[in-house]
Structure 1
């Protein structure tokens, strides 16, 4: 029962697969795919190891990319000329204006050097503790964004404005002798100086801003979420570490990262359930990505 038969050329009767069995196999495969794609409760040791290994790999690959100084300078000259023709070349004005106020530019140097890491790690920890159901998808978007950026560094070497020939930009770290860039002073030999496109300061800060704005329940925190990437854009331009078009590249990478997370998890990170529920007895029930309010308690 449940099988049909067909007659072969030799007159023999052979069993043919049952349509019911085929449908059951299809449902089983779909169920398996849903289980694989569904968010799982993150494990602390694994996440710490993953972040450490990923950042080490990112730094290693980024700094191993050939610097290609001549090509990087040509690319910088081309971007600067395009911006001037379009009337959007504001980087030099912002750089000189910020540099004229010492306390402001020194603060920006330290902002550039530290918040890039501190805020991003802080948001990851907050997601892990308070939004475990959304953590994996948000982390995936961030990691894919960073991976795509590495391709950009390899394919399009770009000198920052402060290293342009005759660009008349101020290297604010050198002038004020602050620690604000891995590509200035005594640290310049530890980093690829010609990996300005795309800007991961912007990619990461916009990721932080979107996450905080979408998930925070305190109004002032949501406002800070919006201000953080805006402030980062001002800082990367004022310190002459990036053209503002590098920020456009960073946001394009982030859009791709969110696209991958959306395709894998079936929803954007902030729309997934906040918590991962459990059945009685402790077995995990994996949430579905649709039909659940974004701010589920």
Structure 2
């Protein structure tokens, strides 16, 4: 029987270096994939026609409806550009500080999810709705805001056809589930669940993704959870709040202070 891998106390500089290296590699690989415009458009045609045949092609109506409310769509542009990173980093910091025993496994879920997303970017280049030619509004271009590296000046340094799967959904759902399962206050847990739901509305309203891209993001997240389960023989959120190896070295008062107000 394989020996179980147990999360140890996370080390700050190692984690910062790992996150920095991982994001650099993610950006490098994501943007190094050849921008196959013709194939990406063909995939967009396939996705859009599939949604139409299923009667669920609602993205264009949502995009036009929300775009008519200027303050709302401008806010969504900035939401799309910023919260994707800010919330994910904030949740990682919170995990590191308040749930060190669960940090390594939870972080592994996120990293595996992102790794599988790169496979999708490579093998299924997809033109986002705003570039697909079906009458969608590119809300960043129309309202002259910065809201996506794939619009405006940022387009020259970003792969515009890395729409499937949506890591906005993969990462936001990881954040939401982490908050829901580990936060103590009910209203915070509720906000955790609302975050990926709001993100889904944003990615559709801004015409950056089809809702099927969101399905792809959730599929990658599912693979991340399953892979981590195989590695650690336990679901990511089932570990004790503080690693057992750390508890034996902590003074009693310090252990009590760290654990106060949190569940195992």
1:75 corresponds to 2:52: no
Going from structure 1 to structure 2, the CA distance change for 1:280 and 1:188 (only over 3 Å counts) comes to: closer
- Residue 234 of structure 1 corresponds to 201
- Output the CA distance in 1 between the equivalents of 2:177 and 2:245: 29
Q: Which runs of 4+ in 1 moved over 4 A?
A: 278-281
- Structure number having the greater helix percentage: 2
Where structure 1 has 5 or more consecutive residues not aligned to the other structure, the ranges are 1-25, 284-293
- Residue 259 of structure 2 corresponds to none
1:101 corresponds to 2:69: yes
Could you tell me how far 1:197 is from its partner in structure 2? Answer: 0.2
Contact 2:63 2:137 in 1 (8 A): yes
Asked which structure has the greater RCO (Cα within 8 Å, sep 6+), the reply is 2
- Number of positions where the alignment pairs a residue of Structure 1 with one of Structure 2: 253
1:84 corresponds to 2:52: yes
Where structure 2 has 5 or more consecutive residues not aligned to the other structure, the ranges are 251-261
RMSD value, Cα: 1.5
| Alignment deviations for residues 6-60 of structure 1 (CA, whole Å, 9 cap, x no partner) | xxxxxxxxxxxxxxxxxxxx8xxx6xx33xx101000000000000010000000
Could you tell me how far 1:280 is from its partner in structure 2? Answer: 8.9
- Residue 175 of structure 1 corresponds to 142
Going from structure 1 to structure 2, the CA distance change for 1:101 and 1:266 (only over 3 Å counts) comes to: same
1:147 corresponds to 2:115: yes
Work out which of the two has the higher radius of gyration on C-alpha atoms and give 1 or 2. 1
| Alignment deviations for residues 239-287 of structure 1 (CA, whole Å, 9 cap, x no partner) | 000000000000000000000111111111111111113489739xxxx
- Residue 28 of structure 2 corresponds to 60
- Residue 126 of structure 2 corresponds to 158
| Alignment deviations for residues 192-245 of structure 1 (CA, whole Å, 9 cap, x no partner) | 000100000000000000000000011110010010000000000000000000
1:267 corresponds to 2:230: no
Equivalent position to 1:184, from 129, 151, 156: 151
